[in-house]
Structure 1
Amino acid sequence: MMEALKQPPTRDELKTVLNENELAYFEALIIRKRDEAMKELDFLLSSLEEQRSSDDDDASSIDHHMSDMGSIEESLDLTNRLIERNRKFINQLNRALERIENGTYGICRATGQPIEKERLEFAPHTRYSITAKNSGLDKRVVMS
């Protein structure tokens, strides 16, 4: 007999158990991480612009090899992937700040239970507890 999957908690059921000081601490941590990620994003964007400019200069040169062109493309691809990864991370941090504002920060979206403070220290943008992550519940939850 299959056990029925428990429905994820509704948004109204997700209320933080963290006190004001803890929320202020995590808010500051998230803002610091977001500022760092934004600086890194700015660096990557300027690096990408430099790579493209350098690529344009190299393309006008007669003495370039196919292997050089492949290396340039690979470097551009890596930089673009890092840019997208940073943008996604910044969005996750912004959503964590929204959860602090609406009182749902630190509650697992899959189980409705508090997320371990150690996990929030490590990944303050997380929406899932270690239990949910390890059991794959984070992959099955679709919240409205």
Structure 2
Amino acid sequence: MKVESFLPDNYTPAEDEPFMNDRQLEYFRVKLLKWKAELLGDSKHTIEGLQDSTRNIPDIADRASEETDRALELRTRDRQRKLVAKIDSALRRIDEGEYGYCEETGEPISLKRLDARPIATLSLEAQERHERRERVHRDD
């Protein structure tokens, strides 16, 4: 899937430009759309592969191995399905003008963090606090 964009191919968001200006929003929109297209393409191949591999295997060890592979593939696809939902949510935040800002503090999320994880909804500091709280509650 080709994603159209008005940005030059070598554009990368920079700290010295206004935060979440039109160019940065377009950069992240394109990045998210390409990632989503890649995930959906992988899912399509998986479904086709699962349909093709539905056969009766007489050897019990081979059958068990194939079932394990299939279960692993389905778990991976389920994680990717959840990821597509997060990508859709990030695209919605772009449309609503909320993208790039921490849901907890309202502060800007760093461009480096967004570039590495464009679905991020928390700043690095808020994410670390969240993970510390989870660890404390898990240890209870």
Same fold (TM over 0.5): yes
Cα distance change on mapping 1:103 and 1:90 into 2, 3 Å: same
Unpaired segments of 5 or more residues in structure 1? 1-16, 59-63
- The reply on whether 1:43 has 2:76 as its aligned counterpart is no
* TM-score normalised to structure 2 length: 0.75
Letter of the 2:104 partner, please give it: A
- The reply on whether 1:90 has 2:46 as its aligned counterpart is no
Cα distance change on mapping 1:139 and 1:108 into 2, 3 Å: farther
**What is the deviation of 1:82?**
1.2
Aligned to 1:29: 31
C-alpha distance in 2, partners of 1:27/1:90? Answer: 14
C-alpha distance in 1, partners of 2:112/2:124? Answer: 10
Letter of the 2:20 partner, please give it: L
Give the SS at the match of 1:134.
Answer: helix
- The reply on whether 1:118 has 2:133 as its aligned counterpart is no
**What is the deviation of 1:137?**
6.1
Matches within 5 A, 1:1-144: 17-51=19-53, 53-54=54-55, 57-58=56-57, 64-136=58-130
User: Residues 106 and 114 of structure 1 are in contact (CA less than 8 Å); yes or no, is this contact kept in structure 2?
Assistant: yes
Which one has a bigger Cα radius of gyration?
Answer: 1
